[in-house]
């Protein structure tokens, strides 16, 4: 089936909000007035560009040693770049992490060795990006967090097919197929690779208060039967297993969609998951009903949820984990992406230490035939202007050498590159998440973010919120979710 054009310009502001709500980017995507651009260097007075210095990344670790990767296996432009062929050229990069020192450091060694200046430009307002693209003034490379955007502009020929920029054999060797499939969109001449995932958010995590958990004698479940047994054990001890909240202002309901996406991956095939995100497998299907029934068994059991079912839609998603860190914990488990550690755990409870006060375990498989899937969100780099030096920069980001300084700096980024070095992660928690991603049987992108905004950030959120709050029964909620597809423009 031909891929639908899910995004339209009027929806972009809503979509940007959706991305932030679902934790798609490893760092916040600012929408305030643009700051000066940055490179692996300190800024000059120019509004959109900077000249290289070492100030912006002082004290941060350098990239990997020369010779780690055979660049000839990636693309000839990268080889030429390290031979100095493009010295003195400039590549502009619309970056979501332009103000993160760890992210800025990723291009420092590349710039020093190639003489190419990489200017990181603040992303600004989504509508402004649309104007840039349509007026052909967009930056050379753009950091995107939603595949729907790729689909919209790939059809018009605005985005370069990266299968013609990076050796496809290298991509298959260094990335799980799921990362490539998600970024494959319909172009003017058929399917094309519109972007490459370069840093990601791990979503299939269940967080717990580690020290208290161990003192209570609880053990990490590795099967769904063990997960159920753990919940019942916590209840038998007079406590509540889950901390859950889906309130998020105008985006209320999105945490429920993440739960369902993880359950869908564990109860049906990856192919059915893909069909569901495209609207080919309806919300009223047996597959989705089954996933929702598993969620219902947990969420609608007041013994399993702190505050009971009625507290879920009223509890803010960033506040929901707080009772987990009381003494003693008032709830013990919280399913959320890795961004929650910085934006909630440590922000709301100063002094918490990763791997000591909190840890995570992988949400166990439910139906063993579907293996160990991982749900993720992340950032893709798309190429809008095709010049040799731009190709070289894009090719470089497909290597672990690119992201390694950020990993060594202890940032929130997780590498999807198969040639990554797990020992480089500065905490056991992030190292374990990275390993889980690299060894997953299947990886799939956040499903609601793959859907058109009318559904993924509209009817899906509303249907789940109505269902959990009790303002709609099962059939009414499923109808609400499914009816969102009727509002999608072809």
Give residue-wise pLDDT tens across range 295-308: 999 999 999 999 99
Cα–Cα separations (whole angstroms), residue 315 to 46, 125, 307, 342, 471: 44, 29, 9, 19, 17
Confidence of residue 29 (pLDDT cuts 50, 70, 90): very low
**Contact present, 406 and 199 (Cβ < 8 Å):** yes
Q: For residue 1, tell me if it sits in a domain.
A: no
> Is the CB of residue 96 less than 8 Å from the CB of residue 24?
no
User: Could you give the CA distance from residue 446 to residue 229 in angstroms, rounded to a whole number?
Assistant: 28
Q: What pLDDT does residue 45 have?
A: 29
Pair 476, 397 in one domain: no
Predicted local distance difference test score (pLDDT) of residue 122: 92
Shared domain check, 358 and 256: yes
Indicate if the pLDDT at residue 315 is higher than 90. yes
Contact 183, 380 (CB under 8 A): yes
Residues 423 and 312 in one domain: no
- Tell whether the model's pLDDT for residue 236 goes beyond 90: yes
Residue 29 tokens, joined:
């995507």
What is the CA 139 to chain-centroid distance, rounded? Answer: 22
Q: Which residue do the tokens 């003195």 mark? A: 88
Closest CA to 376 of 222, 273, 305, 288: 273
| Burial environment of residue 32 by CB neighbours within 10 A (0 to 12, 13 to 18, 19 or more) | exposed
Q: Is 443 part of any domain?
A: no
* pLDDT per position as a tens digit, 171-230: 999 999 999 999 999 999 999 999 999 999 999 999 999 999 999 999 999 999 999 999
Give the Cα separation of 432 and 308 in Å (integer): 31
| pLDDT, tens only, 273-290 | 999 999 999 999 999 999
Structural element, H or E, at residue 442: strand 442-445
3-state secondary structure of 181: helix
**Considering only CA atoms, which of 380, 453, 483, 485 is closest in space to residue 8?**
453
On whether both 365 and 473 belong to a single domain, the answer is: yes
Looking at residue 40, its pLDDT comes to 45
Domain count of the chain?
2
346-358: per-residue pLDDT in tens?
Answer: 999 999 999 999 9
Whether residue 360 is predicted with pLDDT greater than 70 in this model: the reply is yes
Q: What is the DSSP letter of 457?
A: I
Is pTM, for the whole model, over 0.85? no
In tens, the pLDDT along 419-434 reads 999 999 999 999 999 9
Domain boundary residue, one of 412, 435, 458: 435
Q: Of the residues 410, 435, 460, which one is the last residue of a structural domain?
A: 435
* Cα→Cα distances 444→117, 152, 184, 196, 375, Å: 34, 20, 13, 14, 5
Confidence class for position 141, pLDDT limits 50, 70, 90: very high
Q: Are residues 19 and 164 in the same domain?
A: yes
**Does residue 46 surpass a pLDDT of 50?**
no
The residue length of the chain stands at 490
Paired tokens of 407: 């990993």
Query: Is 486's pLDDT higher than 80?
Result: yes
With 60 as the cut, is the pLDDT of residue 26 above it?
Answer: no
Residue of 71 and 16 predicted with greater confidence? 71
Asked, for residue 4, whether it belongs to a domain, the answer is no
DSSP 87: T
**Beta pairing, strands 141-144 & 90-94:** parallel
**136 with 256, same domain?**
no
Return d(Cα 62, Cα 488) in angstroms, integer.
47
Residues 213 and 191 grouped into a single domain: no
Q: Which residue is associated with the tokens 């052909």?
A: 136
Tell whether 24 and 63 lie within a shared domain: yes
Residue 2 belongs to some domain of the structure? no
- Structural domain includes residue 74: yes
Per-residue DSSP letter, 63: -
Pairing of strands 184-187, 190-193: antiparallel
In a domain, residue 440? The reply is: no
Q: Is residue 363 part of a domain?
A: yes
Residues 6+ apart with CB under 8 A from 190: none
Residues 169 and 242 in one domain: no
Q: 60 versus 471: which is more confidently predicted?
A: 471
Supply the range of the domain harboring residue 469: 205-373+448-487
- Could you report the per-residue pLDDT of 432-448, keeping only the tens digit for each? 999 999 999 999 999 99
In this structure, what CATH number is given to the domain that contains residue 128? Answer: 3.40.190.10
* Three-state secondary structure call for residue 155: coil
Q: Are strands 196-202 and 334-335 parallel, antiparallel or unpaired?
A: unpaired
Residues 210, 345: Cα–Cα separation, whole Å? 13
Find where tokens 């020929």 sit. Answer: 157
Residues 322 and 222 in one domain: yes
154 and 263 share a domain? Answer: no
- DSSP letters spanning 270-322: HHHHHHHHHTSS-TTSHHHHHHHHHHHHHHT-TTTBTT-GGGTTTSBTTTTTG
pLDDT of res. 53: 29
Mean pLDDT of 158-183: 96
Q: Is 417 helix (H, G, I), strand (E, B) or coil?
A: coil
At 90, give phi and psi (nearest 5°).
-130, 140
Closest CA to 445 of 211, 297, 306, 257: 257
**Does 68 have pLDDT greater than 90?**
no
Instruction: Let me know if residue 351 belongs to a domain.
Output: yes
Measured at the alpha carbon of residue 431, what is the angle toward residues 425 and 435, in degrees to the nearest 5?
A: 130
Question: Which percentage of the chain shows pLDDT scores above 70?
Answer: 86
Token pair in block for residue 199: 């840093």
In this predicted structure, the answer to whether residue 14 has a pLDDT above a threshold of 70 is no
Q: Where are the alpha helices (DSSP H) in 119-187?
A: 126-134, 147-154, 168-174, 177-182
Selection from 408, 379, 399 nearest residue 81 by Cα: 399
Residues 361 and 232 in one domain: yes
pLDDT of residue 489: 76
């Amino acid at each position: 089936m031909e891929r639908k054009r899910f995004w339209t310009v009027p929806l972009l502001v809503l979509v940007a909000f959706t991305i932030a709500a679902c934790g798609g980017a490893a760092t916040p995507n600012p929408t305030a007035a643009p700051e000066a651009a940055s490179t692996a260097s300190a800024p000059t007075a120019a509004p959109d560009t900077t000249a290289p210095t070492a100030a912006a990344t002082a004290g941060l670790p350098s990239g990997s040693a020369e010779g780690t990767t055979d660049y000839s296996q990636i693309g000839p432009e990268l080889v030429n770049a390290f031979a100095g062929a493009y010295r003195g050229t400039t590549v502009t990069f619309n970056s979501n992490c332009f103000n993160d020192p760890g992210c800025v450091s990723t291009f420092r060694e590349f710039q020093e060795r190639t003489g190419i200046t990489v200017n990181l430009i603040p992303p600004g307002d989504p509508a402004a990006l649309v104007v840039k693209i349509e007026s052909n003034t967009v930056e050379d490379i753009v950091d995107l967090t939603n595949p729907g955007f790729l689909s919209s502009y790939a059809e018009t020929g605005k985005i370069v097919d990266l299968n013609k920029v990076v050796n496809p054999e290298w991509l298959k060797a260094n990335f799980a197929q799921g990362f490539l499939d998600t970024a494959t969109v319909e172009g003017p001449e058929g399917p094309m690779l519109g972007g490459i995932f370069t840093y990601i958010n791990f979503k299939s995590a269940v967080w717990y208060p580690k020290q208290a958990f161990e003192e209570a004698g609880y053990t990490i479940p590795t099967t769904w039967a063990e997960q159920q047994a753990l919940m019942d054990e916590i209840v038998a001890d007079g406590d509540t297993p889950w901390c859950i909240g889906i309130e998020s202002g105008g985006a209320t309901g999105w945490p429920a969609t993440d739960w369902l996406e993880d359950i869908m991956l564990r109860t049906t095939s990856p192919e059915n998951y893909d069909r569901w995100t495209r609207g080919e497998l309806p919300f009223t299907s047996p597959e989705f009903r089954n996933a929702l029934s598993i969620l219902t068994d947990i969420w609608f059991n007041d013994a399993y949820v702190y505050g009971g079912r009625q507290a879920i839609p009223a509890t803010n998603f960033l506040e929901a984990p707080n009772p987990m860190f009381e003494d003693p914990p008032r709830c013990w488990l919280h399913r959320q992406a890795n961004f929650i550690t910085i934006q909630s755990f440590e922000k709301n409870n100063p002094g918490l230490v990763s791997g000591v006060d909190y840890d995570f375990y992988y949400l166990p498989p439910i139906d063993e035939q579907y293996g160990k899937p991982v749900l993720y969100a992340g950032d893709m780099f798309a190429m809008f202007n095709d010049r040799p030096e731009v190709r070289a920069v894009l090719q470089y980001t497909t290597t672990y050498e690119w992201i390694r300084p950020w990993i060594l700096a202890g940032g929130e980024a997780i590498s999807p590159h198969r040639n990554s070095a797990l020992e480089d992660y500065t905490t056991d928690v992030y190292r374990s998440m990275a390993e889980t991603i690299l060894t997953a049987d299947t990886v799939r992108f956040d499903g609601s973010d793959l859907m058109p905004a009318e559904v993924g950030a509209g009817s899906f959120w509303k249907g789940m919120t109505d269902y959990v709050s009790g303002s709609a029964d099962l059939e009414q909620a499923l109808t609400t979710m499914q009816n969102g597809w009727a509002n999608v423009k072809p």
